[in-house]
Amino acid sequence: MHSILIVSDDKSVNNLFKKSLNEDYVIHYAKTPDDALEILFNKDIDITFLDIILNNEGATKLLEKFRQINIDPTIVLIIPEAQPMLSEDALRIGAYELLEKPLTNEAIQHASKRALEKQSLKKELGFIHSHIKNLQPVNKDIGLPEPVINRQPGAGEINLKYKEVFQKFSKVLARVHDLGKLADLTVEAMSEIFGVGKVVFMLVYKKEGLSRPYRYLGLDETVAKKICFNNNQSIMLWLAKNHQILTKDDIEREVAGNKLSIREAINIQREINLLQAHICIPVLAYGSLSSVITLGNKISGKVFFDEDIELLSMLAGYIGMAVENAFLYREANLRKILNENILENIPCGVIAINSNGRINAFNKNAAKMLDISSHDILGKDVKHIGSLFTDILLRTLKDKKNV
């Protein structure tokens, strides 16, 4: 059972949420910010839907208070349609997702599902980060944890425990279907786990033949927007061919072994410097380069050891599988949107039912003809559309013939 808080003084919004969400949710309602704060003090809330215009100081302060009293709450902002500036403000001050008006049952259900997934991921990541800290020995001189991952080889047992933690983290990644959220999660995790101040998630755009920073941390936004690499040159070409991690030290060895010309080495070094990186990790999807993760120097000043490279290689494999899943999900979603657009523009009523007699397609012309809203009928038994049509559809399903 999940708890949801709706902060809105609009009765129609509250009624639509009540209608859209089933018995798996406990819904709390608040008309004012003060009411919302009182509920958050006394209840364990999973998602907060906030129906408040953000272009005022009060709403910003409310979000800050939410974050103070409820451990990193997952907030979904309900905003007026087509207001990009408002959307940017909402995301900037911490909203996880935006829900545009006019609201629909389907949009509310999808937003709730995605927000719950995000909340679950945050809890699991919190556990993983806590587990990593517990694995770190304490420096006796200063009483602070000393990152085991930065030690030289020899801590085999602890490294095995790290691998177990990273495998759990990778399973969390595999459940993220949105590429943007996957990249955000990867950048954040890489920074925390390896103790680096700069992380870049480069995305390979195969149709354009270019690669650009998709998500980044510690890199100036103006610089990041100007970075654009040719997929058939320098660092992207090397990573695509070799499928292995590249460090600054590797470049000199490649030149010494006559595997790289001096000109090629200079170009690769230039691109690494643009990314302010020390190490580049290729991420493969469907057997080819799909993205690249770059890490800057460690904040501690320590170097990357063989253990780091081994763990990064393992993580890259799991991230690659997660990227594949994200690509599949995006493709399936685009196909769904295309099919829905085609269905809606067919100049006649279209009704489809599954083998259990449940309605899974009901276009706008069918809704007009039968005077029934598609939101009220989708997923329900075919009997809800009337006896005449029900009989025809069920006979067609039984005989497997067109009528």
List the domain boundaries for the chain.
2-115, 174-330, 346-399
Distance, CA of 87 to CA of 199 (rounded, Å): 25
Question: 157: Cβ–Cβ under 8 A, 6 or more apart, which residues?
Answer: none
Backbone angles phi, psi at 140, to 5 degrees: -65, -30
Distance, CA of 93 to CA of 115 (rounded, Å): 17
CATH architecture of 346-399: 2-Layer Sandwich (3.30)
pLDDT at 158: 46
Q: 2-115 with 346-399: one CATH topology?
A: no
Whether this model's pTM surpasses 0.95: no
pLDDT at 292: 97
pLDDT at 288: 92
pLDDT at 48: 87
Residues, the chain: 403
pLDDT at 346: 83
E strand intervals along 92-152: 97-100, 138-139, 144-145
Q: What is the mean pLDDT of each run of 10 residues along the chain (403 residues)?
A: 85 89 84 83 84 58 64 75 53 66 86 80 62 51 44 50 62 73 86 89 94 93 92 95 92 86 90 94 92 94 85 86 81 74 80 79 82 78 74 71 52
Q: What's at 184, amino acid-wise? A: D
Q: Which tokens in the block code for residue 122?
A: 């945050």
Running DSSP on this structure, what letter comes out for residue 8?
-
pLDDT at 252: 84
E strand intervals along 31-83: 47-50, 74-79
Backbone angles phi, psi at 61, to 5 degrees: -65, -35
**CATH number corresponding to 2-115:** 3.40.50.2300
The distance between the two most distant Cα atoms of the chain, rounded to a whole number of Å, is 84
Q: For 175-261, where are the alpha helices, taking DSSP H only?
A: 179-194, 221-226, 234-242, 248-256
CATH topology of domain 174-330: Beta-Lactamase (3.30.450)
pLDDT at 116: 82
Kind and range of the H or E run holding 173: helix 156-174
Burial of 334 (0-12, 13-18, 19+ CB in 10 A): exposed
E strand intervals along 114-254: 138-139, 144-145, 199-205, 210-217, 229-230, 246-247
Kind and range of the H or E run holding 2: strand 2-7
Residue in 248, 255, 253, 240 with CA at minimum distance from that of residue 291: 240
